[in-house]
Amino acid sequence: MLSKLEREFATYAQSFYTGEEAVDRNLRLKLAHSFRVRNEMRRLAEAESFSPEAMCEALRTALLHDLSRFEQFQRFQTFNDAESFDHGDRSAELAASGDWLEGFAPEARDAILTAIRIHNKLAVPPGLAERTDLLARAIRDADKLDIIPILLGYLEDPENESIVFGLSEKPELSALVLESIRRGECPRHRDMRTVCDFVASKFLWVNDLNFNWSREEFLRRGYLDRIMAHLPQTPVFRQLHDDARRRLTSA
């Protein structure tokens, strides 16, 4: 049974359906992603002993974090922010309008909106209020935990191009991406040229997991090995895999 909010969320997402399968399947994907990220968030918040208020705010952050994805794909037929709009900023803007945050006190609303706005940025900015910082770090983890299986699903059945933005199938890393990886930084989407760039950059995500529970889940679910299985078995990719594993097991 869906709650009133869940029904409203699904109705909102469905209002962007076009009747064209190539578009609608991507909207369905984001709708399902939003619910799954919310479920990941519940597990994370329980495992990390969030207070009841923080749990409530975290769940709302998770459900709404990609609120603008429906509009984005309908208008631009892409999830690539560089070709459309910054979906973190736009999701926060949409979440602030309407009744999405009804019942939350102003400080809680601000914390949720800020966490949504920065969920897709390169890093969590320093100096956030404690609750905002907690939500921001939690949504980034919950989101990553669900994106990996979406990506793996694509790699196992590569019919849906929009997941990897139509990148080249060349089995190599491109120069700019290799540079960022060597610096230990997660490459930017705009520098990615190949599917390998996109897939291998997921190894760097382990540097941006904020909670022990998320790190354990990454390992427990075998994400690193499953990512590696889709990359060329060459030293550069093996090294990235091994570094990521070491990072997760030593943290």
Site residues (CB under 5 A) for Fe ion?
Answer: 66, 120
Q: Between residues 119 and 241, which has the closer beta carbon with respect to Fe ion?
A: 119
Q: Between residues 16 and 237, which has the closer beta carbon with respect to Fe ion?
A: 16
- Min. distance of Cβ 200 from Fe ion in angstroms? 20
Q: State the residue number with the nearest CB to Fe ion.
A: 66
- Min. distance of Cβ 172 from Fe ion in angstroms? 28
- Min. distance of Cβ 66 from Fe ion in angstroms? 4
Q: Between residues 120 and 132, which has the closer beta carbon with respect to Fe ion?
A: 120
Q: Between residues 88 and 237, which has the closer beta carbon with respect to Fe ion?
A: 88
User: Closest Cα partner for 44 from 235, 206, 210, 195?
Assistant: 210
Residue type, 131: R
- Distance, in Å, from the CA atom of 146 to the CA atom of 144, rounded to the nearest integer, reads 5
- Min. distance of Cβ 199 from Fe ion in angstroms? 18
- Distance, in Å, from the CA atom of 82 to the CA atom of 227, rounded to the nearest integer, reads 25
